[in-house]
Amino acid sequence: MANIEIAATMGRQVLLNADVIEQFSTRLRGGQLLRGDDGYDAARKIYNAMIDHRPAIIVRCAGVADVIDAVNFARSNDLLVSVRGGGHNVSGNAVCDGGLMIDLSAMKSVRVDRDSRTARAEPGVTWGEFDRETQAFGLATTGGLVSTTGIAGLTLGGGLGWLMGSHGLACDNLISVDVVTADGRVLIANDSRNEDLFWALRGGGGNFGIATSFQFRLHPVGPVLGGILIHGLDKAAEIIRFYDEFTRSSPDELGTFVGFVTSPEGERVMAIFVCCNGAVEEGERILKPLRELGPPLTDTIGAMPYVQVQKMMDDGFPAGRQNYWKSNFLKGLPPEAVDVILEHVAKAPSPHSAVAIEQFSGAVNRVGMDNTAFNHRNARYNLLIVGIWVDPAATAGNVRWVRELWDAMQPYSTGSVYVNYLGQETDEGPERVKSAYGPEKYARLAAVKQKYDPMNLFRLNQNIRPPA
Ligand SMILES: Cc1cc2nc3c(=O)[nH]c(=O)nc-3n(C[C@H](O)[C@H](O)[C@H](O)COP(=O)(O)OP(=O)(O)OC[C@H]3O[C@@H](n4cnc5c(N)ncnc54)[C@H](O)[C@@H]3O)c2cc1C
């Protein structure tokens, strides 16, 4: 049998005998895909079409046993490993070039326990799938704003969503996580077992092992008051001045963010996206001043099921487009910062690109700074510049636009960044991961990394390097 060349760690290549790979595959319940196999190209595709990586082996995990075998096989052969949950991370770290991709996307079970208001979910589940199951019982937890995003990567990095003012981040609602560590053991991480690992998993990303089951706390949610207020850019400065004051004292139930987007008619506009969780009549009262301001060109706000508000943004983020994102937390929203955004929005080369200002308030900011690895508890606004375009030939101009706006916003930035919005390390530079945690938390995370993954098997991520 022929040898197959596979990417190993440290930029090396190893030769594995095809018999060895075949033997490994016979143990798997979910099977594996090699180059040329039916389904290989579909399995290596992720949300961001800029990523065109070709793993040597894709392990399609059907359960924990497949994950354990894949980790052991990769470690004992020193293979480069990537881990795919929902495949949404724009950095493309879910897919490796030439190595072994551990694909969790077929692990889809969700079990809701209505009595204890908890849910157990596997790592291939998306937020749309999770919400569908929990809402059958009138329950939900904080999850991403686009329903096709995976629960795994989003939760491990923190997890911003409409309910974070009421209930904190997705990771703040984690009760327990099952993890396959680099040595192939299965550990339970929660408040009383492997507490250091549990702390690191809540914000530290995919550095510490492969999460195979997430247990979440759920809350009664829905129907909610949700929708969009659209304003012309000529009113943007005035509206944002009011919005900044308004959100300073708005109740926890109200989640909002501002998006500079293109309307269906092709106009550049400013949109305020809204979800008010709680009694609909009370939401109407809370939102009245914001809805009267301007007045908006369009107001789509109305009572709707939570699953509908969770899909409100889906059309703007179809899989298969080119994506280049850059982000930073903001010190505030002074008029000069808004001017900079408006100046650049007017020059955006793609109608699909957008600039978002995400509001942080309420429960997300009341969780103790040391309780989790997530480090942005004092944040008020996060800036996210989303470059999205269709034609790969237009890449240079679109990337330049994102970078120029990001550079111009540096005077208003805190310097810190949400780890789940980071791009590839080769583009962002190694210091950016540190700026997601600050020096103290980074050092604490590095110590946890040293304990659970001293050889840095899980390195294709926003990597926290083991100190030794
Ligand atoms: C359209 C879009 C909308 C988004 N909206 C939001 C939002 O509303 N709120 C928010 O907070 N973020 C949002 N994000 C960012 C999102 O949190 C990250 O992209 C996140 O990594 C996606 O998780 P995933 O499982 O889909 O991604 P993947 O690309 O599959 O995984 C990302 C990384 O997470 C790690 N990982 C994944 N699964 C596991 C696992 N089971 N065990 C260990 N490590 C694992 C791996 O390192 C992997 O490289 C959005 C992204 C996109 C593209």
pLDDT in tens, 178-207: 999 999 999 999 999 999 999 999 999 999
Nearest-atom index, ligand 1, CA of 169: 11
pLDDT tens per residue, range 390-427: 999 999 999 999 999 999 999 999 999 999 999 998 89
**Other residues' Cβ atoms within 10 Å of the Cβ of residue 31:** 16
CA–centroid distance, residue 467 to ligand 1 (Å): 25
Helix axes 280-292, 236-248, angle to 10 degrees: 140
**378 pLDDT tier (thresholds 50, 70, 90):** confident
Two tokens, residue 259: 């998006």
3-state secondary structure of 37: coil
Q: Where are the beta strands (DSSP E) in 209-297?
A: 210-217, 219-220, 224-232, 254-262, 268-276
Give me the percent of the chain exceeding a pLDDT of 70: 100
Mutate to test the pocket of ligand 1, among 126, 154, 360 (most ligand atoms within 8 A of CB): 154
In short, whether 270's Cβ falls inside 6 Å of ligand 1 is: no
What is the length of the chain?
A: 468
> How much is the pLDDT for 425?
87
10: pLDDT strictly greater than 90:
no
Pairing relation of β-strands 57-60 and 100-103?
parallel
CA–centroid distance, residue 82 to ligand 1 (Å): 13
> How much is the pLDDT for 468?
80
Mean pLDDT score across all residues of the chain: 96
**Omega prior to 392 cis, within 30 of 0:** no
How is 205-221 classified by DSSP, letter by letter? GGGS-EEEEEEEE-EE-
Nearest-atom index, ligand 1, CA of 149: 26
CA–centroid distance, residue 289 to ligand 1 (Å): 35
Q: Is 320 left (phi over 0), alpha (psi -120 to 50) or beta?
A: left
Q: What are phi and psi of 37, to 5 degrees?
A: -70, 150
Average pLDDT of the segment spanning 441-455: 98
At 335, which helix (H) or strand (E)? helix 335-345
Q: In Å, how far are 120, 132, 248 from 176, measured between CA atoms?
A: 9, 21, 33
Per the CB < 8 A criterion, the answer to whether 467 and 447 are in contact is yes
> How much is the pLDDT for 1?
63
pTM value > 0.75: yes
Average pLDDT of the segment spanning 94-112: 98
CA–centroid distance, residue 158 to ligand 1 (Å): 10
Give the separation between CA 142 and CA 150, rounded to whole angstroms.
13
Q: Where are the beta strands (DSSP E) in 297-432?
A: 298-299, 302-304, 322-330, 354-359, 381-389
Q: Is 366 left (phi over 0), alpha (psi -120 to 50) or beta?
A: alpha
For the chain, the first-to-last Cα distance in angstroms comes to: 39
Two tokens, residue 77: 């052969």
In short, whether 48's Cβ falls inside 6 Å of ligand 1 is: no
From 222, 191, 196, 216, select the one nearest 207 (Cα to Cα). Answer: 196
